[in-house]
Structure 1
Amino acid sequence: MNDTDSGRRGGLWASTAAGLLLALALAGCGSGSNGTSDAGAPPSASGAPSAAVVSPPPAPAVAAPSASTPAAAPSAAGPAALPRSEPVALEIPAIGVRTDLLKLGLRENGSLEVPQDSGNGAPASWYNGSPTPGERGPSVMLGHVNSPNGRGGVFADLRKLAPGMDVAVSRADGSTAVFTVDRGELYGKDSFPTLEVYGNTSGPELRLITCDGYDPATGLFDDNYVIYAKLKA
């Protein structure tokens, strides 16, 4: 696939993202075998996942970006977008993460599939409706913050990532897309900035999403934590 195709795919992703935003914002960190989402820094004694995956509103739920929020245009700066190739593994050396990647989409009811955890921890997953890592646009990966076995989930230490740290994604074509962390952001699930996280980008980017903000009074997780990274090589 050439760069033109990659750009077209990015546009298609942006146009369909609006209909998926709510589901993605509230999901991406589930750990229960029932498909519910967990999040945040869960109490080690509990280990029980919580927080619900919510179905997205009918697309298009959000209009295309207006003049005040224009879609990003391709930029000549930075590394060129890679051809499409699905991810197979994710490595984050700074926090000791090396995980195979599931490839998950949407359930029949429109809610996002989340990794199933039988009790020994679950791998992270790539949302297969987003660009593949290295294509233009934001490639979205989701991971647990906790596990029913009481240990941390695959994205338990996402908050420890700092700007400049590397994230490597092995791809099915044998190549590796290396991303550099730009920043991490904490968002309340009721105020998730959907277009900022899932909207078009001028170059290849990566989003790592888990949950945060455990509330012991409710047993739920109120927030999402998002790592933003850009293609390095």
Structure 2
Amino acid sequence: MKSTYRGRLLASAVGGLLLLTSCAPANTDTPAAPAMSAPPTSTAAPSPSTAPPPPPVMPAAPSPAATPAEQLPAVLPGSAPVTLAIPSIRVTSQLLHLGLEENGSLQVPQDTGNGAPASWYNGSPTPGERGPSVMLGHVNALGGHTGVFADLQKLQNGDQISVTRADGATAVFAVYRGAKYSKNSFPTLEVYGNTSGSELRLITCDGYNPATGEFDDNYVIYAKLIA
């Protein structure tokens, strides 16, 4: 049975102080997160004393024919999301557009008694753009009701998620993975890191602990754009 406890989501997100919200109380020990854009990488050149010897000179091989640049998956232009639909678990929700609180935590949908809709984090790509678009939803609701993302764990690979957009287009995603993570070891780069194509992340609470009245985990759905 799901608890009616309400609070903040707690998975750390991108941008250092930015925290993804959760249904559990705030935890000041939440690990810092990487920036949304993958940080540049650099490899220091070896010092002369440690550099490996050069390889032996080999006969020159014929130059291969020039190959075209790697083609990235097709994506849609930016356009704000309007509604979310997950037919396999009978979810349809208007989407709030939420940003950050003054302390750098992510704003979360407010439940006024009838359950809260899902929200799109407006600092992430719009659904259909290149990169991971992030959406949040509660697992429970006031009055003992279920939240909009209560059944995320029932999603299976191949299940479709549709997002209608302000430009009239519908971005359709297919689930390829679901994972449960402890809030104490949330893999920020894996969840929020850059992707070559357009992807979607749906995040909610999991692991309710009746002894503490908190949710110890987050559950994340990974999906890729297919249409």
TM-score of the aligned structures, taking structure 1 as reference length: 0.74
Hey, what does 1:52 align to over in structure 2?
26
Hey, what does 1:150 align to over in structure 2?
144
Q: Is the 8 A contact 1:94 1:165 kept in 2?
A: yes
Hey, what does 1:76 align to over in structure 2?
71
Q: Max radius of gyration: which structure?
A: 2
C-alpha distance in 2 between matches for 1:219 and 1:66: 41
RMSD of the alignment, in Å?
A: 2.7
Hey, what does 1:177 align to over in structure 2?
171
Give per-residue Cα distances to partners, 1:69-126, cap 9 Å, x unaligned: xxxxx96264x11000000000000000000000000011111100000111000000
2:144 alignment partner, SS class: coil
Can you give the 5+ residue segments of structure 2 that lack an aligned partner in the other structure? Answer: 1-12, 44-68
Hey, what does 1:203 align to over in structure 2?
197
1:195 alignment partner, SS class: helix
* Aligned residue identity for 1:109: N
* Aligned residue identity for 1:17: V
2:143 alignment partner, SS class: coil
Give per-residue Cα distances to partners, 1:149-185, cap 9 Å, x unaligned: 2111000000000000000000000000000001100
- Residue 64 of structure 1: how far off its partner (Å): 2.4
From 120, 124, 132, give the equivalent of 2:126: 132
> Is 1:91 matched with 2:85?
yes
Pick closer, same or farther for the CA change 1:53–1:131 going to 2, 3 Å: farther
- Percent of aligned pairs with the same amino acid: 66
C-alpha distance in 2 between matches for 1:53 and 1:75: 43
C-alpha distance in 1 between matches for 2:150 and 2:124: 23
- Residue 148 of structure 1: how far off its partner (Å): 1.0
Can you give the 5+ residue segments of structure 1 that lack an aligned partner in the other structure? Answer: 1-15, 28-36, 39-49, 69-73
Pick closer, same or farther for the CA change 1:175–1:63 going to 2, 3 Å: closer
Runs of 4+ with deviation above 3 angstroms: 53-60, 65-68
- Residue 202 of structure 1: how far off its partner (Å): 0.5
C-alpha distance in 2 between matches for 1:218 and 1:75: 50
- Residue 19 of structure 1: how far off its partner (Å): 2.2
TM-score of the aligned structures, taking structure 2 as reference length: 0.76
2:142 alignment partner, SS class: coil
Pick closer, same or farther for the CA change 1:58–1:101 going to 2, 3 Å: closer
Q: Is the 8 A contact 2:95 2:117 kept in 1?
A: yes
* Aligned residue identity for 2:141: S
C-alpha distance in 1 between matches for 2:78 and 2:93: 21
Question: Which structure is higher in RCO with an 8 Å CA cutoff and minimum separation 6?
Answer: 1
Q: Is the 8 A contact 1:56 1:110 kept in 2?
A: no
1:217 alignment partner, SS class: coil
- Whose helix proportion is higher, 1 or 2? 1
1:221 alignment partner, SS class: strand
